[in-house]
Amino acid sequence: MCGNTLIKGNITQSRTNLNTPVIVSVSRRTDIPAFYMEWFMKQVNSGVFEIQNPYNGRISCISAAPDNIHCIVFWSKDFGPFIRGNYGDLLAQKEYHLFFNFTINSTDMILEPHVPSLSERLGQLAWLSRRYDKRSIYWRFDPICFYQFHGHGRHHNLHDFLQIADAACDCGIQTCITSFMDHYPKIHKRVRSINGFSFLDPPNDQKIDILVKMEAILQSRRIRLFTCCEPELMGQLPPHSKIGKSSCISGSLLVETLGKKITIRQDRGQRIQKGCGCQASVDIGCYSRHPCYHNCLYCYANPKMRYLP
């Protein structure tokens, strides 16, 4: 438990200036809304968020007092437990402001074996859009994946994009963020155990063509397309394209929608050289303590596949 001063061992207290509220990211490292909301609420009710450094394991703490928190940014592929647990209202009663990065990809049991059905996820999106400012909900179609299975041609996960775009339009969603799968060695090591399966990396001209087609679909639905960490592709877009560089945690938008002042600076813990434009935030997820059970085949966070007990 963190206190007000330095504590012996591997725990330190991070003193945060209350004049510069903190953005709390929940979480890039795992899916807390789907699996760990009870743990998260214990942190809230204790008045302290504990943060474990993913590289050295050191634990620091920040005050969870609403005056110290600019907003809480939730990342998830399944907001069902969040909705059923009435956690949004519980947090609103405590005067926290919420933002949502909701990843909704096409149904693909190979790539995402343990996410809810597409219809269920679209129902969750509709629920969120009725309860919160639509500007505070980002739809992430991420990542775009190509693969081959038993030599039967080239597969991808774009087949439900139009259906999801229609549903997002009906919900009033204004932002879609996408990227192409990053081919990390750990991912290719993971899929070696799947007989006949291999990920593919199409050439940039094909990726550009896909992005332009996605943009056209979204423009007619009043949704703007942004790319996450794709600087090479951004430099090759046609002149007429209005695809933007993403800030999945946008400081300027958060100030605009929530009204509380914040120091606008980039998150140096993210891939700035790859084009990440995210506002600095504190991520309270932990790879080891909070394993994700969606078992997405392309996930960079999980070195091994994990299964629900």
CATH code at position 192: 3.20.20
Detail the DSSP E strand segments found in 151-239: 155-156, 175-180, 197-200, 224-227
The answer to whether position 155 is within a domain reads yes
| DSSP strand pairing (175-180 vs 155-156) | unpaired
The answer to whether position 307 is within a domain reads no
Which helix (H) or strand (E) element contains residue 127?
helix 118-131
Residue 4, classed as helix, strand or coil, is: coil
The answer to whether position 266 is within a domain reads yes
8 A C-beta contact, residue 197 and residue 151: no
Q: How confident is the model at residue 266 (pLDDT cuts 50, 70, 90)?
A: low
Residue 247 has a pLDDT of 78
The answer to whether position 113 is within a domain reads yes
Task: Give φ, ψ of 69 to 5 degrees.
Answer: -110, 115
Task: Find the mean pLDDT for residues 96-106.
Answer: 96
pLDDT of 3 > 50? The answer is: no
Domain tally, the chain: 1
The answer to whether position 288 is within a domain reads no
pLDDT of 228 > 70? The answer is: yes
pLDDT of 272 > 80? The answer is: no
Residue 14 has a pLDDT of 44
In this predicted model, what pLDDT tens digit does every residue of 190-217 receive, in sequence order? 888 888 999 999 999 999 999 999 999 9
The answer to whether position 165 is within a domain reads yes
* Average pLDDT over the chain, rounded to an integer: 86
Domain interval for residue 81: 11-283
* DSSP structure string for 77-109: S--HHHHHTTHHHHHHHTT--EEEEEE-----T
Residue 211 has a pLDDT of 98
Residue 261 has a pLDDT of 62
The answer to whether position 3 is within a domain reads no
